[in-house]
Amino acid sequence: MTLHSPTTTQTSPIQEPRPDSALSDQPVKVVVDVMGGDDAPDVVLEGIRRLFASTDPLDAGIRLILVGAADAIEPLQEAYPERIDTVATTEVIAMNEHPAAAVKQKKDSSVVVGCRLVKEGRADAFFSAGSTGGVMTAATLIIGRVKGVKRPAIATVIPAPRGSVVLIDAGANTDVLPEYVLQFAAMGEVYARGVMGVRHPRVGLLNVGEEASKGSQLAQDVYALMADRIAGFAGNAEGTDLFRGSFDVIATDGFTGNIVLKAMEGLVAGLFGELKTIFYSSTKNKLAAAVLKSDLSALKDQLDIEAIGGAPLLGLAAPVVIGHGSSGAFAIESGIRATATAARQHIPELIADAVAARG
């Protein structure tokens, strides 16, 4: 491993929380795993080029450390010497490797090296569209948790026409205790406020009915905790609420969260597939569909979970965002931007604060 040009600006792991700060344009350094994703490294490199082509002043302050194969990262570094540092790595954690074993064995993998750069304070945050299990394991072991956080959790922003919702946990923890889910809710609330810009997030508990007495014993226990300790608690959310805009944050265990998220992804993909079949089924349909095309594409883009750019892993000492394996260049661009925003908004520090306040 060769660190080509390490940044000298160190970031202290815990800073003063700034709950009311607007989106900041302060300089930020994000490690990007160039080897992560089904179409890596090309799509990752393209996503970075897109980000650097942006004229948004917020984007201008984003600097990157690229980790990955030397021949993939060096040309881009030469093209943007002011904004890119590189650390060449020789290994990759594949999508279907056992995460714990892979992280342990592949010390020179892009994911392990990327996390280490953050841990050492050479960068502020980490983005990868690689193996979710691999990134989670490496980030938890190397970067470590925020003090007081029992279990890091995956937050996913589900886009919906009437308002997006942060679903947490979307798959990190399949077996949970009530206090874990309470923390998921608290972390989701911080994220919705800090990154999504929702001033007073309405926080719900995913359950099978509205009343406090509904649901599993776990859900009832979590309800009692959330009612007591989450300021924005707005009661139980049902499955239908995931697409209704009635909540900003919906907390659940990672088993339910992962299944419901994949069901929704599958349904959106399946429905648009069926629409496409209808549109191509006859000449008159083709002509009619052509008229509607731009509006339908806009809707599809709006609902595209991938366009959000990635799922933040909350509860770690530095922001880590995991992109979808099938990310396109736009998803990569969005994901890096979301990672930078999480760092600028001091999400880990705000989470430390939120967790401490709730015991």
Residues that bind a second copy (CB under 8 A): 160-162, 171, 174-175, 206-208, 214-217, 219, 238-244, 252, 254-256, 258-271, 274-275, 278-279, 281, 284-285, 287-289, 291-292, 295-296, 299, 303
Distance CA 124, CA 344 (A): 9
CB of 21 to a second copy, least distance (A): 34
For residues 199 and 284, which CB has a smaller minimum distance to a second copy in the complex? 284
CB of 222 to a second copy, least distance (A): 12
CB of 179 to a second copy, least distance (A): 17
Beta bridge partners of 86: 66
For residues 18 and 98, which CB has a smaller minimum distance to a second copy in the complex? 98
Distance CA 202, CA 237 (A): 10
Contacts of 123 (CB under 8 A, 6+ apart): 7, 11, 29, 30, 31, 65, 117
For residues 144 and 325, which CB has a smaller minimum distance to a second copy in the complex? 325
For residues 23 and 271, which CB has a smaller minimum distance to a second copy in the complex? 271
| DSSP string for residues in 211-271 | STT-S-HHHHHHHHHHHHH-TTEEEEE-GGGGGTTS-SEEE--HHHHHHHHHHHHHHHHHH
CB of 169 to a second copy, least distance (A): 11
For residues 70 and 268, which CB has a smaller minimum distance to a second copy in the complex? 268
Q: For the stretch 208-228, what's the b/e string if a residue is b when 16 or more beta carbons lie within 10 angstroms of its beta carbon?
A: eeeeeeebeebbbbbbebbee
Q: For the chain, percent helix, then strand, then coil, each to nearest 5?
A: 45, 15, 35
Q: Distance of alpha carbon 266 from its chain centroid, rounded?
A: 19
CB of 141 to a second copy, least distance (A): 20
Specify whether the CB–CB gap between 302 and 332 falls below 8 A.
no
CB of 244 to a second copy, least distance (A): 6
CB of 16 to a second copy, least distance (A): 37
| DSSP string for residues in 95-141 | TTS-HHHHHHH-TTBHHHHHHHHHHTTS-SEEEE-S-HHHHHHHIII
Distance CA 280, CA 285 (A): 7
Q: What is the chain's length?
A: 359
CB of 240 to a second copy, least distance (A): 3
